[in-house]
């Protein structure tokens, strides 16, 4: 390729190139400028230099131009081997000027990384035409010294580690085992991590995963996947099955699925629960569902779903049969396009107004969300000309309203957010102001409450590599600095009131990212832990530096359920010892009883497990797997609402805790009746009431006490645990010290309830549960009490496990969700949703899950009414779809979770609209795959995600949307992959989906190279260096 200076610039920018930041004219390059303001004077510049073969070899994010602040130029270097494959990928380094010859870059790069001799990642390939990576070295000399991620490719055999049982589904739907697969009939991949831990993946010849075998030393933990003759996943057998496929064992441990003649899942059974039934209409839309708890109440108790002509959800609730929506109880009602609902029931307050601008066309404009055991929440949404939400009005649980207005920057980041809260007893107005630095990164958050003085909540500065270097809270209240290793893993937080150090490979040797040692000082009180793990990265020992607060897991079962736990703590005024020596008795994954073998108690009512009873059955569960009894806490009954959230907790002494939720899962109120005392806590967005008195106003970095108007700030560790609370004058109000599984082993002045992971801890009546939103967590036991909403993402472990039993590195949760967005329903694609992609367990979907290393999926079901609809309108439709289905999209996720998108045809622009909305809400979208995008040259998206433009070069359907030039390229794609289809003309448009081999990267060389690069990028750039469930 003979490519000279190619500019992707707006016309006006041609007049504004500055000689001070010129590109190297001897190189081929593409210069891209991203505007930060509408005046075209503020922008970010990126230059990609290409070699003579058109391969990118150096990328420079240039020093910021036209600004008073000095930016730095960051460059990365890519090396290739003789076969044209990526080998060494150099970490970003500071350079001057804006281009360095590769040799000069290599000599100067170590200075940006503590003079480490190997500031690059390296891939080693097998010597075969398939060009598969067999070793992947992380950046850093320590990792290059014999600590790669190694991959081996082999076939199955009769040896213990390579044998695979052959399971099949009979015509009646039963599961059978029929010996082992014959030698050499399966493809086996063995992966060895940096610490020598091995796992195996067995796949058949059409790319389906049959077995995942994880090794814990010499112990094999097997998860089997069993398909029917149509390729539908019918059974998943977790390690606890261990070859026993009796009906009882399957009901306790297995995931079971049934399908109709259209390959739609009509029944699903999770381990230890009763089945869930699904009913669809002729458009494959879910119309009715019923879980085990609903069925226990009445065989006629169903959840229903209604849609409009554009397939948008308009109504959801409960009904009394699965044929017609009779006897309905409406839970959610959605309004679109206009504000004609204003003035109807619930929308009569003066805060609700009719908008005549027309900007709400195609958007969710109103919503009624029923209060389960409470009053409904009424909401209205208002937009600007760019489709951004600029105002939201919603009623609250204190018979008032919360009105939020937002203004945005040119790059769609919030500049101001004004929140007016009213109730019968309180009215307040808060204004958040957001400032950004020269690189459009958040630099300052300010807050004003009513007519009080503006307070700077936080100021952020970044190092030369773009990592947060310092955070100042409350102006002078507290300042923290952050340090990192060459992998950009956090190694230290330093401040006057809280300091933390984290070790990975520089204490006890460990290279796979697990923290091996941690030290901290909170308000002068210092402690430390050293950690050991098993071969599955499950925590074994957390040894306290002084031996006083050690926590150990003495045994796990094959599904990772804790079977034994020891905990040390304070036993007297100056004595320490073993306070818990627990043994767990299980029925499947569910608790039956817990016994404590020691009599010593924690001093002064401190944290511990309290073994209050000695009975055969101390715990019980309902048909959905929710805990209904905990006799050790004196809980005789727990009732749940239709969302599997607690409704009522009843204690033996008749004390109760009552919860009120909205139908979308938002907690509205908690009432504690303990003896003769009743307390009521009400949640109105970030305003927290105790009784009728507004108590707290939560902020980004802490809270405001509404008793005295003082600001308080949280000092957090690497996981967001609140260790210290300081006031605006830097006085310490509270300190907390945590066991690894979240128990507070010592604290001073319990001033506020938000503790471990920043979650609210309810200690009343000895409950000691952390509220994570979707479920409650019991730190004394180190497990959840309800099934993980994302249990099907983690087939190999118990749905009650907390963070894969790795609480030091993980938070709940580092979920990643793959969103599939279908294209136009035609050209071989008769239906949307999962069926568009061949079903939830097709080779394409399973391949995506394996490739992206994630099993959680969401299938958008879109029907495009206008075959040649514009990119702009589909982008807007996608934005509104994400808003309307927001709760479903983020179900089971938290703010550190990330999304991946896979779209086809018209789904390209639609998915970009969804991405735009999700990123406005603060979510990270990691990678986007656009397959045969419709109108690809008009497809632009927000900056951030890695984008892959994959296209069949002879796709005549896509050709109908191309410009006269025939250009098929998506402008801001990071990778462009091209393939010619050999299918008949009717099947070309769907070839990438139906081929079944898209993700296996075993095709022609150019395809293989590109997909290898993408997968390597995904592996090397996780959103957060932890994972959990």
Query: Quick check: is 1024 in a domain?
Result: yes
Cβ atoms within 10 Å of 763's Cβ, excluding its own: 13
Query: Quick check: is 389 in a domain?
Result: no
Tokens at 973, concatenated: 């794609």
Q: What is the pLDDT of residue 988?
A: 83
Residues of the chain with confidence (pLDDT) below 50 = 1-21, 65-69, 814-815, 827, 866-868, 1001-1010, 1012, 1016-1017, 1019-1029
Mark whether 538 and 578 lie in a shared domain: yes
Buried b (16+ CB within 10 A) or exposed e, 538-567: bbebbbbeeebbbbbbeebebbbbbeebbb
Mark whether 957 and 1029 lie in a shared domain: yes
Query: Quick check: is 897 in a domain?
Result: yes
Task: Tell me which of 760, 781, 803 is where a domain ends.
Answer: 803
Taking the C-alpha atoms of residue 758 and residue 772, their distance in angstroms, rounded to an integer, is 9
Mark whether 783 and 848 lie in a shared domain: no
Mark whether 819 and 771 lie in a shared domain: no
Instruction: Answer for the pair 769, 784: CB distance below 8 angstroms, yes or no.
Output: no
Task: Tell me which of 70, 86, 113 is where a domain ends.
Answer: 113
pLDDT in tens, 452-500: 999 999 999 999 888 899 999 999 999 999 999 999 889 999 999 999 9
Mark whether 790 and 867 lie in a shared domain: no
Task: Tell me which of 753, 781, 803 is where a domain ends.
Answer: 803
Closest CA to 369 of 881, 890, 786, 884: 884
Phi, psi of 101 (to 5 degrees): -60, 145
Q: What is the pLDDT of residue 343?
A: 93
Mark whether 776 and 879 lie in a shared domain: no
Cβ atoms within 10 Å of 368's Cβ, excluding its own: 22
Closest CA to 957 of 992, 981, 985: 985
**Which residues does residue 112 pair with via DSSP β-bridges, in sequence order?**
none
Query: Quick check: is 97 in a domain?
Result: yes
Provide the domain limits for residue 593.
496-509+518-684+717-803
Residues in the chain: 1029
Mark whether 617 and 726 lie in a shared domain: yes
Q: What is the pLDDT of residue 586?
A: 98
Closest CA to 742 of 773, 702, 783, 713: 783
Q: What is the pLDDT of residue 222?
A: 98
Mark whether 758 and 842 lie in a shared domain: no
Indicate the number of domains in the chain.
Answer: 3
pTM value is 0.82
Provide the 3-class DSSP secondary structure of residue 721: coil
Buried b (16+ CB within 10 A) or exposed e, 256-265: bbbbeeebbb
Q: What is the pLDDT of residue 970?
A: 85
SS3 string, 483-508, reads EECCCCCEEEEEECCEEEEEECCCCC
Taking the C-alpha atoms of residue 633 and residue 674, their distance in angstroms, rounded to an integer, is 14
Query: Quick check: is 360 in a domain?
Result: no
Query: Quick check: is 563 in a domain?
Result: yes
Query: Quick check: is 592 in a domain?
Result: yes
pLDDT in tens, 233-277: 999 999 999 999 999 999 999 999 999 998 899 999 999 999 999
Mark whether 502 and 635 lie in a shared domain: yes
Mark whether 838 and 795 lie in a shared domain: no
- Which CATH number do you get for residue 828? 3.40.50.1820
Mark whether 602 and 668 lie in a shared domain: yes
Taking the C-alpha atoms of residue 988 and residue 957, their distance in angstroms, rounded to an integer, is 8
Q: What is the pLDDT of residue 388?
A: 86
Q: What is the pLDDT of residue 21?
A: 46
Mark whether 790 and 931 lie in a shared domain: no
Instruction: Answer for the pair 985, 951: CB distance below 8 angstroms, yes or no.
Output: no
Q: What is the pLDDT of residue 936?
A: 86
Taking the C-alpha atoms of residue 604 and residue 301, their distance in angstroms, rounded to an integer, is 48
Query: Quick check: is 581 in a domain?
Result: yes
Largest CA-CA distance found in the chain, in angstroms, rounded = 84
CA distances (Å), origin 844, targets 209, 840, 964, 999: 12, 9, 32, 7
Phi, psi of 914 (to 5 degrees): -60, -45
């Amino acid at each position: 390729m003979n490519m000279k200076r190619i500019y992707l610039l707006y016309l006006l920018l041609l007049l504004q190139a500055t000689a001070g930041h010129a590109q190297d004219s001897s190189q081929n390059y593409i210069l891209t400028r991203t505007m930060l303001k509408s005046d075209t004077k503020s922008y970010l510049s990126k230059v990609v230099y290409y070699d003579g073969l058109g391969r990118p070899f150096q990328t420079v994010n240039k020093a910021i131009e036209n600004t008073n602040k000095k930016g730095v130029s960051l460059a990365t270097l890519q090396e290739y081997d003789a076969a044209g494959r990526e080998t060494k990928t150099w970490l970003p380094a500071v350079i001057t000027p804006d281009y360095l010859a590769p040799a000069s870059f290599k000599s100067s790069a170590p200075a940006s990384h503590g003079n480490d001799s190997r500031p690059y990642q390296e891939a080693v390939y097998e010597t075969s035409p398939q060009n598969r990576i067999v070793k992947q070295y992380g950046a850093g000399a320590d990792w290059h010294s014999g600590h790669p991620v190694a991959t081996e490719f082999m076939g199955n055999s009769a040896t213990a580690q390579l044998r695979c049982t052959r399971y099949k589904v009979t015509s009646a739907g039963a599961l059978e085992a029929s010996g082992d697969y014959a030698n050499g009939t399966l493809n086996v991949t063995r992966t060895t991590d940096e610490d020598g831990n091995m796992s195996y993946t067995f796949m058949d010849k059409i790319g389906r995963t049959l077995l995942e075998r994880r090794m814990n030393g010499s112990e094999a933990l097997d998860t089997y996947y069993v398909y029917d003759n149509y390729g539908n996943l019918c059974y998943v057998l977790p390690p606890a099955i261990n070859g026993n496929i009796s009906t009882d064992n399957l009901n306790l441990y297995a995931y079971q699925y049934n399908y109709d003649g259209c390959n739609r899942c009509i029944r699903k059974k999770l381990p230890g629960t009763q089945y869930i039934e699904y009913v669809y209409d002729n458009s494959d839309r879910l119309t009715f569902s019923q879980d085990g708890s609903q069925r226990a109440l009445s065989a006629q108790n169903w959840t229903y779903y209604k849609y409009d002509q554009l397939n948008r959800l308009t109504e959801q609730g409960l009904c009394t049969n699965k044929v017609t929506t009779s006897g309905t109880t409406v839970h959610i009602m959605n309004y679109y396009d206009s504000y004609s609902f204003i003035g109807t029931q619930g929308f009569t307050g003066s805060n609700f107004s009719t908008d005549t601008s027309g900007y709400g066309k195609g958007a969710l404009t109103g919503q009624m969300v029923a209060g389960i055991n409470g009053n409904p929440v009424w909401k209205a949404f208002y937009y600007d000309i760019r489709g951004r939400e600029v105002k939201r009005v919603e009623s609250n649980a204190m018979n008032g309203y919360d009105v939020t207005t937002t203004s945005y920057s040119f790059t769609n980041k919030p500049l101001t957010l004004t929140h007016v809260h009213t109730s019968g007893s309180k009215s307040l107005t808060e204004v958040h102001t957001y400032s950004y630095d020269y690189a459009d990164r958040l630099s300052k958050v300010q807050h004003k409450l009513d007519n009080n003085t503006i307070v700077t909540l936080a100021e952020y500065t970044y190092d030369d590599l773009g990592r947060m270097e310092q955070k100042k809270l409350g102006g002078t209240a507290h300042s923290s600095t952050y340090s990192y290793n060459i992998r950009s893993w956090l190694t230290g937080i330093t401040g006057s009131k809280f300091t933390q150090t984290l070790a990975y490979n520089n204490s006890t040797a460990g290279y796979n990212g697990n923290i091996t040692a941690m030290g901290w000082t909170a308000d002068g009180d210092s402690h430390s832990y050293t950690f050991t793990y098993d071969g599955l990265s499950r925590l074994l020992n957390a040894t306290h530096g002084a031996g006083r607060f050690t926590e150990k897991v003495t045994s796990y079962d094959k599904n990772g359920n804790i079977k034994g736990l020891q905990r040390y703590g304070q036993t007297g005024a100056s004595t320490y010892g073993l306070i818990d020596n627990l043994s767990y008795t299980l029925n499947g994954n569910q608790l039956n009883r817990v016994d404590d073998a020691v009599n010593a108690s924690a001093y002064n009512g401190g944290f511990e497990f309290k073994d209050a009873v000695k009975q055969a059955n101390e715990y019980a569960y309902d048909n959905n797997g929710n805990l209904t009894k905990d006799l050790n806490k004196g809980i005789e009954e727990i009732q749940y609402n239709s969302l599997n959230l607690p409704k009522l907790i009843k204690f033996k002494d008749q004390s109760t805790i009552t919860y009120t939720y909205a139908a979308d899962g938002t907690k509205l109120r908690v009432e504690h009746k303990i003896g003769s005392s009743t307390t009521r806590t009400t949640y109105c967005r970030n305003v927290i009431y105790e009784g009728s008195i507004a108590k707290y106003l939560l902020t980004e970095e802490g809270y405001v006490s509404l008793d005295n108007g003082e600001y308080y700030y949280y000092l957090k560790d690497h996981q967001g645990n609140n260790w210290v609370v300081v006031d605006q004058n830097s006085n310490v109000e509270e300190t907390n010290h945590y066991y690894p599984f979240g128990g507070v082993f010592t604290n001073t002045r319990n001033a506020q309830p938000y503790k471990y992971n920043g979650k609210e801890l309810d200690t009343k009546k000895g409950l000691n549960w952390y509220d994570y939103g979707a479920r409650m967590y019991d730190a004394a036991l180190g497990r959840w009490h309800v099934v993980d909403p994302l249990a099907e993402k983690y087939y190999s472990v118990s749905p009650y496990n907390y963070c894969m039993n790795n609480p030091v590195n993980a938070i709940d949760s580092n979920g990643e969700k793959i969103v599939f967005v279908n294209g136009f329903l035609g050209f071989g694609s008769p239906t949307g949703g999962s069926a568009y992609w061949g079903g939830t367990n097709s080779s394409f979907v399973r391949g995506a899950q394996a490739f992206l290393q994630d099993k959680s999926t969401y299938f958008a079901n879109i029907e495009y009414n206008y075959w040649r609809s514009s990119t702009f309108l589909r982008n807007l439709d996608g934005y509104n779809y994400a808003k309307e289905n927001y709760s479903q999209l983020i179900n089971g996720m938290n703010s550190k979770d990330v999304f991946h998108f896979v779209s086809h045809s018209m789904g390209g622009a639609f998915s970009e609209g969804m991405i735009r909305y999700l990123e406005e809400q603060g979510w990270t979208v990691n990678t986007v795959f656009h397959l045969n995008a419709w109108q690809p040259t008009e497809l632009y998206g927000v900056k951030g995600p890695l984008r892959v433009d994959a296209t069949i070069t002879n796709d005549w359907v896509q050709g109908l949307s191309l410009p006269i030039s025939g250009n098929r390229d998506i402008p801001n794609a990071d990778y462009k992959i091209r393939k010619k289809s050999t299918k008949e003309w009717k099947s070309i448009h769907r070839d990438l989906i139906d081929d079944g081999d898209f993700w296996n990267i075993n095709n022609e060389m150019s395809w293989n190279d590109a997909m290898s690069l993408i997968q390597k990028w995904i592996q090397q750039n996780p959103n957060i260096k932890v994972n959990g469930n």
